[in-house]
Chain A
Amino acid sequence: MRGYGGWAGKVLSVDLSTGRIWCDDTIERYKEYLGGTGIGYKVMWDEVPPGTKPYDPENRIIFATGPLAGTSAPSSGRTAITTLWPTCWPVPLVASGHMGGNFAAKLKYAGYDAIVIQGKADRPVWLMIEDQKVEIHDACSIWGQGIRSATCAIAEIMGRDSAVAAIGQSGENLVPLSIILSGASHSAGGIGSVMGSKNLKAIGVNGSGSIRIAGKKEEWEKLIKYHLSLLGANNQHVAPSSPQPWAEYYDPTTRWNASRGHRWGAAAHPVDTGTCDPHDVNRIAYRSNTAAFFLGDGVWRHTVRGNGCASCPVRCHTILKVPSVSTKYGIPAVGQNTCVGLKFGANFFKNIPGGLKGAVGLEANMVGLHLADDLGVWCNYGQLQRDFIKLYYGGVIKKKLSVREYGRYSWSKYEKGDPAFLFELLPRIAAKEGELGTVLGLGAGYMLERWNLSEEEWGKDKKLGYWKMGHPKHHGSDEAGQCGLLINLIYNRDAVCHSHTNFIKNGLPLHVQKRLATELWGSPEAVDGLGDFKPMHRSKARMAKWALMRKELHDSLSLCNWMGPWVASPLRERGYAGDDSIESMLYKLATGDNKDREELDAVAERIFLLHRALTIRDMGTKEMRTRHDKIPEWVYKDKSGKPPFTKGAVHMDRNDIQVARDMFYEELGWDKATGAPTRRTYRKFGLGDVADELAKRKLAPA
């Protein structure tokens, strides 16, 4: 370990084909990639040859934490899970899912920074990790069971304080739209079936160790308090959603929805969230009720409390209690989730009595989240539900199914918005039952291919939110202009980048955002008002690059890119500025590796470049600009009929987007013509061997 703090020191490898278990030194092999996605991409580059398919034993699935996991750094509970993605269409490519909960911290306390799984067990197994004891156990008794009971069974063996990451029937049945789930609701989407293909039902982990902080204790505590002082609410929204006595600004659209009179009504003793003055860091957990944000104010009375990840004060997973669902549907009255997971059920319905935010909508969501998180079905960031509605109301389902299979579904229940319909649909997806169950579980790209539907047509329908390669937009151009568009070009799944959107939706008025943007990206032109987009500007390309680097940095350090970055704060006395150096300050003090912000950003860029290199290598082409970084047609359309860059229009201008791509590739040191990094750029970031390998394959411009 050479005296570094932060890292646990070992990367655990398990070959399920042979049963071999061994460890590598994290620092020796991976320090220059930090952890998380950095370790994931490095393993994929070194060990998984091009042409490997997701379910091949040669594919790896890497559960990787970063040097801040298991420390007291705020929002440091993330595990990045990297592998070849089964839903990436038409060719599976590298991508990562991200899981919160306690898994990352427990893994670190057991002494490991990452787990690399390869091979395929000859029977269902689960992996038990208890400090130095690592064992492969028979999983026949839990194979075929849902995630809840499998998790409970393993916790019975390992103890209630263990962390378990498991797949449901969906992952076992190699349904591409599958999750890995840890704790009650912390899921990593899209990759459960890769575990299933290896006959690996679950990983249970418990550790009795701790993580050493390299810096002085007093300095670390001071830094943590400083970081906490900059925190806002969920998604780093820094202005409250309603006027508060302490607040200069408010914004009804932020997730800081605490207010005097807003109560966790289903708590044993109902709790008033209060006004939540930002200087009171002991009340950060009260600032957001994510369920109320998504499901409407009616859920305040169903709210038990917020829940969340190790070392995160934000608690973005809301625990809800809805007693009526027990009697009506036979599911637990209590459930929890966040973001799209909260809306999993109701989103399937075009019509629902009382609307999506009504009582039936809430029941549908309770049914949806319980079924999805037990069966292990992934929604592809809501694409599954949007596709389903389009396919049903467009008559495609009726056309594609046999009369017999079509008749097995209670479509009248569906049209009436009856949550019971979900019991007919979701188990069939998890079981790959029939044509419909099978096709819905494929993910959008393979679904379109199987049913001979046009991806181009899918990309014209803005309501579908489809972007490319089988995945939807994730905070794209309609909310973040050119910056959002550029971010959505890069990844092989939905972009899952929140750096930019957390800034532009932080609730501060535009003139304050522009002042902060000038300090961060060199010009106020970096940010526009929503629906008041302006032509491309160099600072927008800088912001897009920054957003991606922060994402990779967070994913590699175990920080949460849903909660950060922390470049704005709720503090009026700071002019609402946050601190763009917080990641490097935490990293430096935790590990003892004296990298400043620029040096750490260079590591993030190395990691990001490796992702691009893997994409290019495995696609076998360097023509990224035309063959990978695609843009759906809806981006250029607006129902108002107005030209781009007029108020109220959110569409982009084709010529302007070409300029945007040029500037973006230039900022990254990539070849403008192809969108591929140049050999020089690879070398600049210490990836000379990658440059050589790609050059050999004629995949790297000079």
Chain B
Amino acid sequence: MKDPIIKDVTVRDNGTLPGDAVAMAAAVVRERSADALLVSASEITLYVQKRLASPDTNISCEDIPVMLTRMVDENEDLHSLAGAGSQWYYSSRSMTDAYANILLQKLEGPVRLIAETVRHNSSAYQRPVPLELFMAPPFNLTHQQVFDGLETMAATDGYEDIASTTTSASGVYLYSTERLEADHAEMLAEWFHVGQAENP
């Protein structure tokens, strides 16, 4: 993890916390978000501890939850998400909730990323998604990861709703059978992959 450049940090009296801990934590979250990244509670803590590493200004383990809670409470743009074994933070100044959720699912691994993305697209947008979606930014999975993920889903309870349809031009699209009817998914996949290009 590279050290972020902290700008405009105001040193304030934060009660039991060392003066600028909350502001430092907020700044690192904003900077990570500007780079389209989530930042974990432990990363924030490490960073703040490193910056405050002197006998007078270090923070204790008990201070950390207080610091993180205050950071979110005192800054409207900062939000937290739980998952992938941690608490994660982002700033809505440069990242939407939707994007932050995708990043979190990415941290939870290819299987969950693919499944939740497919389910979200099937329910919120009523559409299947092409496999290629997962190989492009921000998903950035390899071909192998995608196929391994699909194999895992096929052999694991809890993913029975994830189905695929193949277009006349051999495009593979994924959808959730609980949220999108098979005929509808098939028609939409054919349109997206073949029909749309014929109706430019």
A→B interface (CB under 8 Å): 242-253, 259-262, 275, 294, 297, 339-340, 343, 355-356, 382, 465, 473-476, 478-479, 509-510, 529-532, 640, 642, 647-650
A260 touches B36 (CB 8 A): yes
B window 112-133: CB within 8 A of A? 124-127, 129-130, 132-133
Q: Separation in Å of the B124 CB from the closest CB of chain A? A: 6
Smallest CB gap from B125: residue in A: A509
A252 touches B191 (CB 8 A): no
Main secondary structure of the interface of B (DSSP, over half): helix
Query: Can you list 29 pairs linking A and B with CB atoms under 8 Å apart?
Result: A242-B133, A243-B138, A245-B36, A246-B94, A246-B95, A247-B96, A247-B98, A250-B98, A252-B130, A259-B137, A260-B137, A294-B197, A297-B132, A343-B200, A356-B169, A382-B200, A473-B199, A476-B199, A478-B199, A479-B195, A479-B199, A529-B126, A530-B127, A530-B188, A530-B191, A531-B188, A532-B184, A647-B181, A648-B183
Q: Is B99 an interface residue (CB 8 A)?
A: yes
**Chain B residues positioned under 8 Å from A244 (CB to CB):** 99
**Chain A residues positioned under 8 Å from B130 (CB to CB):** 252
Contacts A253-B196, A260-B137, A297-B136 supplied; 10 other A-B pairs, CB < 8 Å: A243-B102, A245-B96, A246-B95, A251-B125, A262-B137, A275-B36, A530-B191, A531-B191, A532-B126, A647-B181
Cβ contact of A647, chosen from B124, B129, B183, cutoff 8 A: B183
Cβ contact of A340, chosen from B96, B192, B200, cutoff 8 A: B200
Q: Separation in Å of the A264 CB from the closest CB of chain B? A: 16
Q: Separation in Å of the B135 CB from the closest CB of chain A? A: 9
- Known contacts: A294-B197, A478-B195. The answer to whether A249 contacts B98 by CB under 8 A is yes
Q: How many A-B residue pairs have CB under 8 A?
A: 100
A509 touches B183 (CB 8 A): no
Q: Separation in Å of the A346 CB from the closest CB of chain B? A: 11
**Chain A residues positioned under 8 Å from B96 (CB to CB):** 245-248
A253 touches B192 (CB 8 A): yes
Q: Is B198 an interface residue (CB 8 A)?
A: yes
Q: Is B31 an interface residue (CB 8 A)?
A: no
Smallest CB gap from A340: residue in B: B200
B→A interface (CB under 8 Å): 33, 36, 94-99, 102, 124-127, 129-130, 132-133, 136-138, 169, 181, 183-188, 191-192, 195-200
B187 touches A649 (CB 8 A): yes
In the bound complex, what is the Cα–Cα distance between A478 and B94 (angstroms)? 38
**Chain B residues positioned under 8 Å from A260 (CB to CB):** 36, 137
Smallest CB gap from A510: residue in B: B126
**Chain A residues positioned under 8 Å from B187 (CB to CB):** 531, 640, 648-650
- Known contacts: A252-B130, A260-B36, A531-B188. The answer to whether A242 contacts B137 by CB under 8 A is yes
In the bound complex, what is the Cα–Cα distance between A553 and B181 (angstroms)? 40
Main secondary structure of the interface of A (DSSP, over half): loop
In the bound complex, what is the Cα–Cα distance between A476 and B129 (angstroms)? 24
In the bound complex, what is the Cα–Cα distance between A275 and B36 (angstroms)? 10
Smallest CB gap from B169: residue in A: A355
B188 touches A259 (CB 8 A): no
- Known contacts: A242-B138, A249-B98. The answer to whether A339 contacts B192 by CB under 8 A is no
- Known contacts: A465-B198, A532-B126. The answer to whether A242 contacts B136 by CB under 8 A is yes
**Chain A residues positioned under 8 Å from B126 (CB to CB):** 510, 529, 532
In the bound complex, what is the Cα–Cα distance between A309 and B169 (angstroms)? 34
| Highest count of chain A CB atoms <10 Å: which of B129, B169, B185, B200 | B200
Smallest CB gap from B193: residue in A: A253
In the bound complex, what is the Cα–Cα distance between A262 and B169 (angstroms)? 24
Smallest CB gap from B124: residue in A: A509
Smallest CB gap from A259: residue in B: B137
- Known contacts: A252-B133, A640-B183, A648-B187. The answer to whether A243 contacts B198 by CB under 8 A is no
A252 touches B129 (CB 8 A): yes
**Chain A residues positioned under 8 Å from B133 (CB to CB):** 242, 252
A245 touches B184 (CB 8 A): no
Smallest CB gap from B186: residue in A: A648
B184 touches A531 (CB 8 A): yes
Q: Separation in Å of the B32 CB from the closest CB of chain A? A: 11
A382 touches B181 (CB 8 A): no
Q: Separation in Å of the A497 CB from the closest CB of chain B? A: 13
